[in-house]
Amino acid sequence: LISANGDLLLNAASVDNRNAEISSLGSLTSTVGQFNNSEKGRLLANGALQLTSDHLNNQNGSVAGQQGVQLNLGQLTNIGTGSVYGKNSLNLAVSGALNNDQGTLRSDGTLDMRAASLSNNTGSVTSAGTASVSTSGAVVNRGGQILSDSTLTLTSASLDNSQSGRIAGNGLALTTGTFDNHQDGRLTSTGALQLNAGLVNNSDAGRIASAMALTAVVTGLNQTNDGRLYGNGDVSLDLSNGLLTNQGGLINAPGQLLLKNLSVVNNQSGEISSANGFTLA
């Protein structure tokens, strides 16, 4: 146990905090080459927490700050029951891979996450405030959740949200390449939803839905077998002259429905409908 009644400054080439605790009643600032906080390790601050490290191994460990948490890392392993929590804010800058499989990344305030890639299979990334998740590579969220009670902005090279993955916000903007949302994937917004993507697989009960307006620009859309894309306001879908496969699928808007740049459409046993006007452009 390493504990401070006030602020704590810790600098080391490496730290092994397995099944141990480093804590501060004030702020905690640490620069460590290799930080092993696995096996129920605890890194805790009652104030702000800032850690700079080449690699933080937080498998089944806990990192928490009762104010803001700032992690500047080369790599983050937060798998199993690993948890990183920032009460006011959580800022993650990871130059390499961020592995949160089965792990938890949570903020009761804002969330800002930047990484080379994010693996969040059955993991949880949540914020009560505004959230931004950005990767230069892939985001894999099979069976995981990326949720914000406020607006959510997600940018990646590709996105796999299949197998009951959940991505949701109160206003959501997604920019990605290939987007796999099949097998009960959910991309939803209680505010407006804006989607910019390459080929989108929304088949096998995938859902892309907004409680308000929905705007999508994609290079192709597959909604075979009960895939659904809909909004409770106007819906605009730009296919960029790509293929629309809506076999057994649904595209619906209670407001205006605008379909742009259609090339080939397969709507066998599918429905494309609007209660308030339908425009092909």
E strand or H helix at 244: strand 243-245
Structure confidence by residue, pLDDT tens digits, 1-25: 778 889 999 999 999 999 999 999 9
DSSP string, 41-107: -EEEESS-EEEEEEEEE-TT-EEEESSEEEEEEEEEE--TT-EEEESSEEEEEEEEEEE-TT-EEEE
Radius of gyration of the chain (CA): 21
- Share of the chain residues as helix, strand and coil, in percent rounded to the nearest 5: 0, 60, 40
- pLDDT for the residue 279: 84
Contacts of 74 (CB under 8 A, 6+ apart): 53, 54, 55, 94, 95, 96
- pLDDT for the residue 164: 98
Structure confidence by residue, pLDDT tens digits, 166-199: 999 999 999 999 999 999 999 999 999 999 999 9
DSSP 180: E
Calculate mean pLDDT across residues 95-107. Answer: 99
- pLDDT for the residue 158: 99
Residue 59 carries which side chain, given as an amino acid letter? Answer: Q
Q: Which of 188, 228, 236 is nearest to 211 (CA)?
A: 188
d(CA 132, CA 19): 32
Burial tier of 246 (Cβ tally within 10 Å: 0-12, 13-18, 19+): buried
Domains in the chain: boundaries: 44-280
